Amino acid sequence: MNKFKRITPKPASLIKASAILALGVGLNACSSGSNTSSGTSTTQGQQTQAISVTFQAATFQGQSGQPQFSPSDLNIKKGAKVTLTIVSTDTGNAPLPTGLTQYDNVQGGTETVDGTSVTNVPNDNVAHTFSVPALGLNAVIPVVPSGKTSTTVVFTFTANKAGTYTWKCLAPCGSGSDGMSGPMATMGWMEGNFVVS
């Protein structure tokens, strides 16, 4: 039987993330939808759009310090090159349970942690994941190392299949005896819509 160590989020933001979408020439910029902010620019003939999102420690049904991804819906353009930058301040781990340990591997793109390329994060060092299983996408967010205040994950990928998918954190960072309840099982908290159009 697996034992899970609860995360202990700091009262400030748990994780901050921003995503930059690079769209090829001639493509329309995607709608910002419910993303918190966006902007478009053209650099050397390539159109880009910046989208800012935030992971935060919030109150879920009276439980403070629960992780939340806001906004929960992300809208990107099919075929766009997406760079997701996640700055994490989470010092607690949430090892993946048996049956999900393949998600300690980076899938469907490339990842750097504090500037170093990685393909895997040891399971006992996993804090969160940003996973879109239906598209084969998975970014692994490690625990902030001792003596540091944050760690930065940069995940770069291309979504080539249009549709509406669910992204989720697969690490047991929520409530309940197994850490998989509360915000982990609620749209708008640790899962949301990932729209590719």
The arithmetic mean of pLDDT across residues 98-127, rounded, is 96
Could you read off the pLDDT of 23-56 as tens digits, one per residue? Answer: 221 111 222 233 333 444 444 543 444 555 555 6
Whether pTM exceeds 0.95:
no
Please report which confidence band the pLDDT of residue 145 belongs to, taking 50, 70 and 90 as the band edges. Answer: very high
Please report the pLDDT score of residue 83 as a whole number: 81
Task: Say if residues 57 and 67 touch (Cβ distance below 8 Å).
Answer: yes
In this structure, is residue 49 part of a structural domain?
A: yes
In the chain, how many domains are there? Answer: 1
The confidence band for 12, taking pLDDT boundaries of 50, 70 and 90, is: very low
Instruction: Determine the structural domain holding residue 148 and report its residue range.
Output: 15-196
Q: Which residue has the tokens 């170093």?
A: 116
CA separation for the pair 113, 97 (Å, rounded): 22
Whether residue 175 lies inside any domain: the answer is yes
Q: Is residue 10 part of a domain?
A: no
What's the mean pLDDT in 151-172? 91
**Residue 87 vs residues 17, 33, 47: alpha-carbon distances, Å:** 6, 23, 25
Report cis status (omega within 30 of 0) of the bond before 71: yes
Please report the beta strands in the chain, taking only residues with DSSP state E, as ranges in sequence order.
Answer: 15-23, 38-43, 46-60, 63-70, 74-76, 81-88, 109-113, 116-118, 126-132, 137-142, 151-158, 163-168, 191-196
| Residue 2 is assigned to a structural domain of this protein | no
- Residue 43's pLDDT is 46
Considering the domain boundaries, does residue 43 fall inside one? Answer: yes
Q: Tell me the average pLDDT of the chain.
A: 75
Task: Identify the DSSP state of 175.
Answer: B
Mean pLDDT of 163-170: 95
